[in-house]
């Protein structure tokens, strides 16, 4: 486990070791994990330029006011959107590209706990749309801006990192995957989708993490979880500190380590990537900021050797092509 005191020490170095005016995009940031991490980033970074995307204007107005108090020199822009739709993701990314030529951090925590297998108007499983397809679309759209950075270059996606399980290649969108296997399936889909992107972006680091059970609005909306299903409960403030650490520490460096991140502090080492190699640039980590188990890495290695990364890549491309045709070529 990376202890909270160690994480706070690392985060305290952000203002003195990272350059000012870092540009960050937070998706799903009007509540919960996204909101608390956004505020931590606003507090520690010098003159940040933050875009945050969500559905609630009322929540955004409150967050904007709070961020201005935390950092009067920061620039904060809210973008109201339903990011379960790929065409909307494209529109948001285009607006960001019009305003900035560089992005340092893409942080995504959008999601829904609905298990009814409902579909979006683009005929994508809603749960998979938010947890996988929209996130990969944000990454591929904004990857040139991340690669253009001369300092921090990182993607953090909050989900089930370190909880990867069997992947049913006949049902990537998880419309028929049994509920007990759903988390493992979607977690693996996300991790392998990130691997497909990371192969062409060695100068960017990618972190897929599991936050533990955090008392967010999403958690409360479903009435909480039975105690037997909670492996660890993480306070929301600690969750924000841990995710800021994932977003900034050199422990999660890119494969081509040319950017700038917060230096390693005493007792902290470069993390193991999903291929079992130190500093590979793609990391699956648990709530404690430690890399996935050897069993998980073995599973991912078997899937990789079986060509599953390419299968996931091709499936995703086909889905995006279908949606593009449906939306008139957006």
- Written as six digits, the tokens of 177 are 């995957």
Name 78's bridge partners.
52
Q: What is the pTM of this model?
A: 0.94
The answer on pLDDT for 149 being more than 90 is yes
Domain count, the chain: 1
pLDDT of residue 239: 96
Question: The domain spanning residue 260 has which CATH number?
Answer: 3.40.50.720
Angle between helices 134-147 and 179-198 (to 10 degrees): 20
Tokens standing for 253? 């460096």
Tokens found for residue 16: 């003195």
Across the strands, what pairs with 119? 125
The confidence score (pLDDT) of residue 218 equals 47
Q: Could you list the residue range(s) of the whole structural domain that residue 311 is in?
A: 4-326
Strand partners, 259: none
**93-112 average pLDDT score:** 96
> What's the mean pLDDT in 252-279?
94
Task: Look at residue 186 and give its three-state secondary structure.
Answer: helix
For 24-51, what is each residue's pLDDT tens digit? 999 999 999 999 999 999 999 999 999 9
State yes or no: pLDDT of 60 exceeds 90. yes
Q: Average pLDDT, whole number, for the chain? A: 93
Instruction: Decide: 112 and 32 in contact? Cβ < 8 Å.
Output: no
List the beta bridge partners of residue 291.
Answer: 285
Average pLDDT over every residue of 231-255: 94
pLDDT band at 230 (very low <50, low <70, confident <90, very high): low
Q: What is the pLDDT of residue 113?
A: 67
């Amino acid at each position: 486990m990376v202890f909270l005191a160690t994480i706070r020490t690392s985060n305290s170095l952000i203002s003195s070791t990272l350059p000012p005016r870092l540009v960050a995009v937070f998706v799903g940031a009007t509540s919960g994990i996204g909101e608390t991490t956004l505020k931590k980033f606003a507090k520690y970074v010098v003159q940040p330029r933050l875009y945050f995307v969500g559905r609630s204007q009322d929540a955004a107005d409150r967050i904007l006011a709070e961020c201005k108090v935390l950092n009067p020199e920061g620039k904060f822009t809210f973008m109201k959107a339903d990011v379960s739709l790929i065409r909307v993701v494209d529109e948001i990314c285009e607006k960001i590209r019009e305003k900035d030529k560089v992005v340092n951090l893409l942080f995504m925590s959008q999601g829904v706990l609905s298990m009814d297998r409902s579909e979006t108007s683009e005929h994508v499983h809603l749960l998979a749309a938010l947890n996988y397809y929209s996130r990969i679309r944000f990454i591929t759209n904004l990857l040139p801006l991340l690669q253009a950075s001369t300092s921090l270059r990182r993607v953090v996606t909050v989900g089930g990192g370190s909880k990867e399980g069997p992947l049913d290649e006949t049902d990537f969108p998880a419309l028929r995957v049994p509920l007990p296997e759903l988390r493992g399936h979607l977690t693996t889909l996300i991790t392998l989708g990130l691997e497909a992107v990371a192969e062409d972006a060695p100068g960017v680091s990618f972190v897929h993490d599991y936050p533990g059970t955090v008392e967010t609005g999403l958690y409360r909306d479903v009435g909480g979880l039975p105690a037997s299903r909670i492996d660890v409960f993480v306070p929301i403030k600690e969750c924000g500190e841990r995710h800021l650490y994932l977003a900034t520490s050199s422990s999660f460096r890119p494969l081509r380590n040319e950017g700038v991140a917060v230096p390693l502090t005493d007792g902290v080492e470069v993390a193991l990537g999903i291929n079992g190699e130190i500093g590979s640039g793609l990391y699956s980590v648990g709530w404690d900021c430690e890399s996935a188990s050897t069993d998980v890495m073995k599973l991912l290695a078997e899937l990789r050797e079986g060509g599953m990364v390419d299968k996931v890549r091709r499936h995703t491309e086909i889905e995006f092509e279908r949606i593009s045709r449906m939306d008139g070529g957006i």
